[in-house]
Structure 1
Amino acid sequence: MQTHRITTPFGRRPMTLALVKGQLETSSIKEGKSIDKWKVFRDVCQARSTIGIPDRALTVLDALLTFLPCNELTQEGGLVVFPSNLQLSVRAHGIAGTTLRRHLAALVEAGLIVRKDSPNGKRYARRSRTGKLEQAFGFSLAPLLSRAEELAELAQSVAAERRRFQIAKENLSLCRRDIRKLICMAIQEGVHGDWALIESRFRALLARIPRTPLLADLEPILENMEMLREEILNQLDLKGNSGKPDGNAVRFGRHLQNSDTESSHELEPACEREEGPNPTDMRPSAKPMKVFPLELVLQACPTISDYAPGGGGSIGSWREIMAAGIIVRSMLGVSPSAYQRACEIMGPENAAVAMACILERAAHITSPGGYLRDLTGKAARGEFSLAAMLMALYRSNAAGRSAGDKRRGGCAQPSAFQVDDGRNRPPYG
């Protein structure tokens, strides 16, 4: 029995089996063992969440360590410190007395220090006539020495977990960026596919990310994100082998053909004819047209349905959406020449889509005609992405706006049109 090595607490503080076990462990420290006290303290700080102590308790432990005269924790150098609460409070940056006692109790409960109480509960040391320390009563730091290896392993485990968390966050950010840009690229390049459904699945995954996520939260979301990205890439690979001309070549070829504005007068009657329109006449027969999914356009721009031909309140074909675009053009006061120019540069379908997008933003646009001219000019220079505009509106409408906001054609934030297109600026405006 090693009862002479067990110290019971003074006063009303109870004795527990945990205290007995902790004191027995500290009594079995190997002779000659030593460790740098600040290295142990850094390990404790790193493993604080695992040990289960508050950050203010670390301040108190730091103050206790400063009362050791040397930097090494050794049995020969003495492991008991005996500062008064006043001295300890000063070195703990003025911590209040009640707070100090609470955090001392937390350190004892966590097994980082042991109370070695005197017969009267005071902290003091008894020395010999030569000044050698014979007995000290206060707080023993022996648990830090006996648990040094354990604390180092805990610190390494926490560091590895933190690194895994950082890698998961980085991979998730990269995967989000890849999916967002691949969807926009697929729509912009005219790749067939249910991109509205894929966008909805992507947004559902984003909604699962907590405000303060843990590694266990991120790993399954990242796995699903990577599967979605692989699915998108597979669709793009299938389309890449179909012999479809490069989308950029089609776009720049169309711009070169339309650089002479006097050569496209055959489009003018179709854009100007507002009584009994025949929108299919507006399509240039010699130019390939890049058309977005009609369902995506109607989800991104629901207000355009109010201007459907015949007043039915629904649009079911590109003919109807182009006819509605002409009505909206007249209602917003856009000049026929500005709309014709948009038809020449973007194509009739895309010009109608641009009018639908402007209608959604009408409350925030002072001059719709000037706005359309600006978009047309940017499209002619290859600086405007209609796909990015549609996806921004689609995300804004899918974010839960009220039906009244949609009917008024306003967005909750003017910045909702800003899309991460790699140039850190809105795609138009």
Structure 2
Amino acid sequence: MEPYQSTTPFGQRSLTLAHVATQIVASSRAPEKVVHKWKIFHAICTARSRLGVSERSLSVLNALLTFHPETALTGEDDLVVFPSNHQLSLRAHGMPASTLRRHLAVLVDAGLLIRRDSPNGKRYARKDSAGEIELAFGFDLSQLVVRSEEFESLAADIEAEARALKLVRERITLCRRDISKMIATGIEEGVPTRRGGQGPADWQKVHAAFRSIVDQIPRTATKQELEPIAEELSQLADDVLNILKTHIKSEHLSANESQTERHIQNSKPNSLIDLEPSLREGRAAGAEPKPQPTRFAEGSYPLGMVLSACPDIIDYAKGGISNWRDFLATAAVVRSMLGISPSAWEEAQTVMGETQAAIVVGCILQRGNAIRSAGGYLRGLTRKAEVGEFSLGPILMAQINSRLQEKRTA
């Protein structure tokens, strides 16, 4: 008599049509089919979100697979494993029995396992006179063979999606870096964004367009959400690069004139007129004494000069300070470390401009214990700036002279 194999679970566990469908599929496995159990397990782990199973459930499946002695799972072998809950718990890194039962039910409902319960619900195997297993009660792994192509296909789809998402994120990151540095170059070099443009003023419009695109990027997004943003950034990057290229070509056409202008501009590098051109021009033109806030350096003070006056701020930079963007980001970190309140920082940026406010923070850091309250000191300088009594150039020169004096006496 052929041994009868039960199709229903033991005890109060219910039988669903999905369970019956799973058993029908398992009975149709081709005898000649062979799969590598750990490769299939890897595919299932990759596709777990599509299959509706958690990492804990997969750790139980991993433990069950260790009870099958062969690496290969075939369509003709008996693939029932029958460890006790105690043995299974040990291989599942000590998972409690109640948790173990819950995750086994998840694996069955997901169609990864089939229950082959004995009359009393225990898991065991009955052997024939030759010592071969005649009938086993436990968990049938046949679904891993039957659905192997499905698992591999799901895993391949997920890996392809992850790769596509990674590529579009890389594209956005590269475009953001290129655009920000090209805008900074355009501002520092005074490149007009169009024929007859005013350089820095027009670059602020370009920067505003850049920020409006970047602000659309969600923290967690799909490839479909990021692709149009990547396209916008790519187009903007091309436009900004074309502006710089056009400027370079125009400079080549009037190379002699440009060289003469650069010679005149660099003839007095240490004069206070060069250090504070915005103040001088504002007073001569009758403009308001308050500087307008900006997100980029206007180039009033060379970055090398600022770092020479305030070298301590470099210690707080993640990867060094090679441009104004790095300096502004580091100043924001130092501001918090010095205990300067967000309101005092925002007010200073509004009155002085983002760049000058950041330089002042660097100066405060450099002076160290000489300033009792960094926040109060910054507010005091902000009040002076409001009435046109604040000048950053002399402060930087005093810092540089002080450091030079320290080196001489050292």
* TM-score (normalised: structure 2): 0.65
> Contact (CA 8 Å) 1:36, 1:73: kept in 2 or not?
yes
Q: Residue 285 of structure 2 is aligned with which of 309, 319, 330?
A: 319
1:83 aligns with 2:83: yes
Q: CA deviation at 1:208?
A: 2.4
Q: Distance in 2 between matches of 1:416 and 1:50?
A: 54
Percent identity over the alignment is 39
Q: CA RMSD in A?
A: 4.3
Q: What's 2:267 paired with? A: 257
Cα 1:371–1:45 change in 2 (3 A) is closer
Cα 1:189–1:141 change in 2 (3 A) is same
Q: How does 1:168-317 map to 2 (within 5 A)?
A: 168-193=168-193, 194-243=202-251, 245=254, 253-254=263-264, 257-258=267-268, 279=280
Cα 1:89–1:142 change in 2 (3 A) is same
Q: Deviations over 1:39-61 (max 9, x none)?
A: 11111112122222111111111
Q: Return the letter of the residue paired with 1:139.
A: F
Q: CA deviation at 1:180?
A: 0.6
Cα 1:224–1:23 change in 2 (3 A) is same
1:11 aligns with 2:19: no
Q: Deviations over 1:4-45 (max 9, x none)?
A: 877112222222121111111111011221111111111111
> Contact (CA 8 Å) 2:6, 2:118: kept in 1 or not?
no
Q: Return the letter of the residue paired with 1:202.
A: F
Q: What's 2:117 paired with? A: 117
* Other structure's SS at 1:257 match: coil
Q: Distance in 1 between matches of 2:38 and 2:247?
A: 61
Q: Return the letter of the residue paired with 1:178.
A: D
Q: What's 1:70 paired with? A: 70
Cα 1:220–1:117 change in 2 (3 A) is same
Q: CA deviation at 1:241?
A: 4.4
Number of residue pairs matched by the alignment: 318
Q: CA deviation at 1:217?
A: 3.1
Q: Distance in 1 between matches of 2:142 and 2:326?
A: 67
Q: CA deviation at 1:73?
A: 0.7
> Contact (CA 8 Å) 1:128, 1:134: kept in 2 or not?
yes
Q: Return the letter of the residue paired with 1:120.
A: N
| Structure 2: runs of 5 or more not aligned | 194-201, 292-296, 311-320, 333-341, 363-395, 401-410
Q: CA deviation at 1:209?
A: 2.3
> Contact (CA 8 Å) 2:191, 2:247: kept in 1 or not?
yes
Q: Deviations over 1:111-158 (max 9, x none)?
A: 111111122222111111221111111110000000111111111111
* Other structure's SS at 1:134 match: strand
Q: CA deviation at 1:238?
A: 4.1
| Structure 1: runs of 5 or more not aligned | 262-266, 272-277, 281-307, 310-317, 329-350, 359-369, 376-384, 419-427
Q: What's 1:47 paired with? A: 47
> Contact (CA 8 Å) 1:184, 1:391: kept in 2 or not?
no
1:388 aligns with 2:324: yes
> Contact (CA 8 Å) 2:29, 2:146: kept in 1 or not?
yes
Q: Distance in 2 between matches of 1:44 and 1:199?
A: 46
> Contact (CA 8 Å) 1:40, 1:144: kept in 2 or not?
yes
